[in-house]
Chains A and B, each alone.
Chain A
Amino acid sequence: MTMRPIGEDDLQGLVDERLDTARRREVEAYLDAHSEARARVARMISLREEMRAAFAPIAAEPVPARLNLARIVEARRRPARPIWQVFPIWQAMAAGLLLLVGGAGGWGLREVVSPVPTGIEALAQSASMNYAVYAPDHTRPVELAAADRDELAGWFSARMRRPVAVPDLSGSGYRLMGGRLVATQQGPAGLLMYDDGHGARFVMLMRPMSVPGDAPMRAHTTETSNGYAWVQDGLGYSLVGAADPSILHPLANEIRRATAKAI
């Protein structure tokens, strides 16, 4: 019986150990006689080993939680359907039309029912809005961490052009997380964020008021948050959180006392 000629596929098969014993012997015999082919096969085998070694660590890593199969199966049982599947298209169109009518009507009535807030009301609104945006943020709730407390105070003071203190509430069991500068209709404001160590956060917004002097503390609420706002020596404060007024109110009093001493 004449031997089938050795082909490129045989060389690849040898590298990948896919040849049967008889064929492997024939290929080996061929390589014994052809040193250049032998060298190439040897290099292909070493490449195979290098590649396996290079990617082996990935398969050895613990599987990330989001690739947990049980979790994926579980998530599929409660599918989050996109809105257009929940509401048929005509319902969506009708809803859009109603929104348009409502929006136009509301715009016409804007002066009557909802005057643009000013003074302490505007302050309270800014604080509630910023609470809603930043408190639930997991990635970057604050821009400067509490460790940079002095830098934070310096930053706020520079941008608000007056000395601003960063109250320490650790005595009441609240940890300063840090803060950031935020925009309001009336200019830059300082936003501080605190947490209670159990995941509950609240924010305090501070900005200069257009009128100097003090204003008494008043409560303000939205659907998701409670707040207390006051003005002290021309600087407006608003403390906002999801906590009960019975917790927030004493805290607001404490901050007012602390800032009165600090400045």
Chain B
Amino acid sequence: MMDMMRLIEPLIPALRRYAHALLRNPTDADDLVQDCLERAVTRWHQRQADGDARTWLFAILHNLAVTQMRQRARRGAHMPIEDIAEANLAVAPTQESGLRHRDLMTALDALPEEQRSVLLLVTVEGLSYAETADILAIPTGTVMSRLSRARDRMIQSMDGTEASVPAKRPLLRRVK
């Protein structure tokens, strides 16, 4: 029990970060992390004792996220309005950094889900290619090719080089 607390607890901020970046909805993301932690607590004894707790937890979280994103895609995105901070609905259009941030998020949202997860796990979470392959249950070669495509696509979309990738989920912007 102490072992579990010691290994899981320090990872919670990173799990939240990954869930938020992947789902881009704070409430859904924390729901997901909660589900993930509940499962981790239940299944702690099933995990391989020599396995890495981080990849194990990220794999649980990722699988839950994929299930949820597919459901959401089927039902259409549902955003309960009272749960959303004003900041999520409106993007301050004045600051250069704000614009840059928005472009980054738009580009990220436009990525296919399987590219987005690879890019986030490698760059934001700093996981190795082998760990990422483990979490996503795909070969390392696939991680590499998705990573390369994800980066090119992001840059293309953000810098507007060549044909820009159409945004799948455009952010709602305040019209003044």
Contact = CB atoms under 8 A, between A and B. Distances in A.
Interface of A: 8-9, 11-12, 15-16, 18, 40, 43-44, 47-48, 50-52, 54-56, 58-61, 63-64, 66-67, 69-70, 72-73, 76
Contact of A44 (B100, B124, B151): B151
B16 A72 contact: no
A70 to B, nearest CB: 7
A40 B37 CA distance: 39
B99 interface: no
B41 A76 contact: yes
Nearest to A48: B123
B113 interface: no
5 pairs of A and B residues whose beta carbons are closest in the complex? A59-B13, A59-B17, A58-B17, A48-B123, A58-B20
B12 A67 contact: yes
B128 A67 contact: no
A60 B151 contact: no
Contact of B21 (A40, A58, A69, A72): A58
A76 B124 contact: no
Interface of B: 1, 5, 8-9, 12-14, 16-17, 20-21, 30, 33-34, 37-38, 41-42, 100-101, 104-105, 108, 119-120, 122-124, 128-129, 144, 147-148, 151, 154-155, 158-159
Contacts of B14: 59
Given A11-B148, A12-B148, A16-B122, 20 more contacts: A9-B144, A12-B144, A12-B147, A16-B123, A43-B155, A44-B151, A50-B100, A51-B108, A52-B124, A54-B104, A55-B124, A58-B17, A58-B21, A59-B13, A64-B30, A67-B30, A69-B5, A73-B41, A76-B41, A76-B42
Contacts of B8: 69
Q: Which of B12, B42, B119 has the most CB of A within 10 A?
A: B12
Given A8-B144, A12-B144, A67 B34 contact: yes
Nearest to A11: B148
A60 B38 contact: no
B82 to A, nearest CB: 9
A61 B85 CA distance: 16
Given A69-B8, A69-B37, A47 B20 contact: no
A131 to B, nearest CB: 25
11 contacts: A8-B144, A52-B124, A54-B101, A55-B124, A63-B12, A69-B5, A69-B41, A72-B34, A72-B37, A73-B5, A76-B41
Given A52-B123, A70-B5, A43 B159 contact: yes
Contacts of B17: 55-56, 58-59
B41 A72 contact: yes
A58 B104 CA distance: 16
A51 B120 CA distance: 8
Given A58-B21, A72-B41, A76-B38, A50 B104 contact: yes
Contact of A72 (B38, B101, B144, B148): B38
Contact of A67 (B16, B42, B123, B124): B16
